[in-house]
Amino acid sequence: MADRAISALPTATTLTASDLFVLSQSNQAKNTTWQTIIGYLTTALDGHGGIQSITYIPPVSPSLDGTLTITLADSTHYDVTVTNGNGVTGIVQHWAVSSSNSTAPSTWYTTLQTMTPTNRYLWNYMTVEMDDGNDIDTTPCVAGVYGDTGQAWYVWIRYAGSQPTSDADIGTTPDDWIGVYSGTESDPDNLHYTDFDWFQYKGATGATGAAATITTQNVSYQASNSGTVAPSGSWTTTIPTVTQGNFLWTRTQLAFNDGTNVTSYSVARYGVDGTGSVVSVNGVSPDGSGNVALTASDIAMSDNQSIETNVSQLQTDVGDVASLTTTAGTVVPAINELKTSIIQSSAYAVTANGTTSHSLTGLTADHVVGNWGMFSDSGLTTPIPENAPTCDIQITTSSGSWSITVTNFTASFYIAPTFIKD
């Protein structure tokens, strides 16, 4: 620090545990820390509730002493005599380097010196300058030591199939023996097999153990009404009678030549006879899910002809009405009435999803779809099989027109609906 009077130094406004104080004790310059002062004050104040006030009465002349009075919370007070001594005007740091850590150097400098590998030790002492000229020197001591650069350290691993006896025996592929090197060599290619510590970490293959054999075997049975919980009753070596819907449990007990015992269970259910099951409908057998899918050709009418056949015949018969004469009596009006109640549209091409409306003369709101088919040509000569998934169709009628709504469209086709009055 620069040489200057204490009064010229900046004023400290706070104190911390790392602060250092210089004082004169028994006519020797010494230093202390704020932590030491706190400890002393804590011991002195213990049991008194803390400090109430601190007052200082200065001396009436420079040759006399002053008084510092510390009053505690319980009114206990301490009077400390303050000798009117000399003030500290400054502190000067002295530095030197040396190859010895026991003998102080003879040459000192006021600037910090640089240590070297030869002069490894940094020495220091302080001069406390007093205003009366009686400066105080602290005892020289070693303040620092030169540190050497650390040496890089390496670990290398090598392997061998057996205890190596030459460099040719070792390699980098894992094997039965492992060698470990720890040292300053940075290139493992410069190492020899003797530079490694060798360990056998994979032992020889052990002898084959004796094969396990079954010494005893016992199979027994028991009936139960549970298919998940093994029965706790008596087991028998003969298969018992099991009622329909109940379960037959089989217990297998094995004993091996090494003393191990194993018990396992299996269970089977006695099925219940079925009643009222569907074998077929109109000669059509159920599918894999038990459902019977019927078409118009599968449903017969009273004449043992299918609905599909009767509707087709009806269309043919209605077409022949024009050739009948009035000599047929009352039959002709009835057939004519049936003919006028049947209206067939022309072929219509279905090409996309959506709803479209089509005019049809003579159609009224009380007409319903009597028949329609799906064909691959406009001439309606090639039917599309009913099981071919093309789309879902809904046909509605009103006076003079009919509408078709198509969803799930997959392939184009033609239809020609036939409408019959309710």
Angstrom CA distances, 126 to 30, 35, 208, 265, stand at 10, 22, 83, 95
Contact at 8 Å (CB) between 415 and 384? Answer: no
Q: Which residues of 332-342 are buried (b: 16+ CB within 10 A; e: fewer)?
A: eeebeeebebb
pLDDT tens readout for residues 360-372: 888 888 888 877 7
For the chain, what is the domain count? 5
Asked if 73 contacts 50 with a C-beta cutoff of 8 angstroms, the reply is yes
- Report how far residue 382's alpha carbon sits from residue 375's, in angstroms, rounded to the nearest whole number: 5
HSE, CB side, 13 Å, CA atoms: give it for residue 218: 11
pLDDT beyond 90 at 6: no
Helix (H, G, I), strand (E, B) or coil at 41: helix
Residue 70: pLDDT over 90: no
Residue 93 identity: Q
Determine the Cα–Cα distance for residues 86 and 130; give it in Å rounded to an integer: 6
- The percentage of the chain sitting over the pLDDT mark of 70, rounded to a whole number, equals 71
pLDDT of residue 329: 47
Tell me the DSSP string of 170-202. -BSS--SEEEEEEES-S-GGG--GGGSEEEE-S
Specify whether 261 is located in the same domain as 301.
no
- What mean pLDDT do residues 382-402 have? 84
- Report the pLDDT averaged over residues 222-233: 92
**Residue 119 included in any domain:** no
Is 335 a domain residue? Answer: yes
Q: Are residues 336 and 347 both part of a single domain?
A: no
At 123-139, the pLDDT tens digits run 998 887 876 677 888 88
Task: Tell whether 258 and 313 lie within a shared domain.
Answer: no
On whether residue 141 sits in a domain, the answer given is no
CA separation for the pair 131, 62 (Å, rounded): 14
In the prediction, which pLDDT does 9 show? Answer: 63
Q: Supply the pLDDT for residue 392.
A: 86
Domain C-terminal end among 82, 101, 125: 82
pLDDT confidence of residue 266: 93
Judged against a pLDDT cut of 60, whether residue 213 lies above it is answered with yes
pLDDT single digits (tens) 304-339: 666 666 666 665 655 554 454 444 445 555 555 556
What whole-number percentage of the chain has pLDDT above 90?
Answer: 30
User: Which pLDDT score, from 0 to 100, does residue 106 have?
Assistant: 92
Q: Are residues 34 and 68 in the same domain?
A: yes
Q: Between these two residues, 358 and 298, which has the higher pLDDT value? A: 358
pLDDT recorded at residue 52: 66
Q: Nearest Cα to 221, choosing from 250, 247, 263?
A: 250
Using alpha carbons, select from 336, 359, 353 the residue that is nearest to residue 406: 353
Query: Which pLDDT does position 173 carry in this prediction?
Result: 92
Task: Give the gyration radius of the chain's Cα atoms.
Answer: 59
**Which one of 25, 59, 82 terminates a domain?**
82
Please state the rounded mean pLDDT for residues 275-302.
71
Predicted pLDDT at 86: 58
User: Is residue 112 a part of any domain in this protein?
Assistant: no
8 A C-beta contact, residue 181 and residue 191: yes
Whether 1 is in a domain gets the answer: no
> Does one domain contain both 196 and 220?
no
Question: Which residue has better confidence, 75 or 310?
Answer: 75
17 and 34 in a common domain: yes
CB-based contact 190:158 (threshold 8 Å): no
265-269 mean pLDDT? 93
For 344-361, how does the pLDDT look when each residue is reduced to its tens digit (9 = 90+)?
Answer: 888 888 888 999 999 888
Q: Are residues 244 and 182 in the same domain?
A: no
Q: Are residues 323 and 388 in the same domain?
A: no
pLDDT value, residue 271: 84
Q: Which residue type is seen at 252? A: T
**369 and 398 both lie in a single domain:** yes
Evaluated on CA atoms 287, 291, 297, 300, the torsion sign reads positive
Q: Tell me: do 31 and 75 sit in the same domain.
A: yes
Q: Confirm if 241 and 223 have CB atoms less than 8 A apart.
A: yes
**3-state percent helix, strand, coil for the chain, nearest multiple of 5:** 15, 35, 50
Are residues 30 and 52 both part of a single domain?
yes
**Gap between the Cα atoms of 123 and 113, Å rounded:** 9
Cβ neighbourhood burial of 268 (10 Å; 0-12, 13-18, 19+): exposed
User: Hey, what are 292's tokens?
Assistant: 């019977």
Q: Does the residue 206 lie in any domain?
A: no
3-state secondary structure of 340: helix
Instruction: Check residue 391 and give its pLDDT.
Output: 85
More confident residue, 329 or 33: 33
In a domain, residue 368? The reply is: yes
Q: What does the pLDDT average to over 103-121?
A: 93
pLDDT of residue 223: 94
**What is the predicted pLDDT for the residue at 222?**
94
Q: How confident is the model at residue 192 (pLDDT cuts 50, 70, 90)?
A: very high
Which single residue is written with the structure tokens 């159609």? 363
The residue range of the domain holding 176 is 154-200
Mean pLDDT for all residues in the chain: 79
Tokens matching residue 36: 């030491």
Q: Which position has the token pair 């400066």?
A: 135
Are 332 and 348 found together in one domain?
no
Q: Which residue has the tokens 């940094």?
A: 122
- Extract the tokens encoding 162: 């057996």
d(CA 250, CA 238): 10
Q: What is the C-alpha separation between 413 and 386, in angstroms, rounded?
A: 12
pLDDT value at 264 more than 50? yes
Q: Tell me if 51 is assigned to some domain.
A: yes
Q: Looking at residue 247, what is its pLDDT?
A: 94
Distance CA 21, CA 141 (A): 19
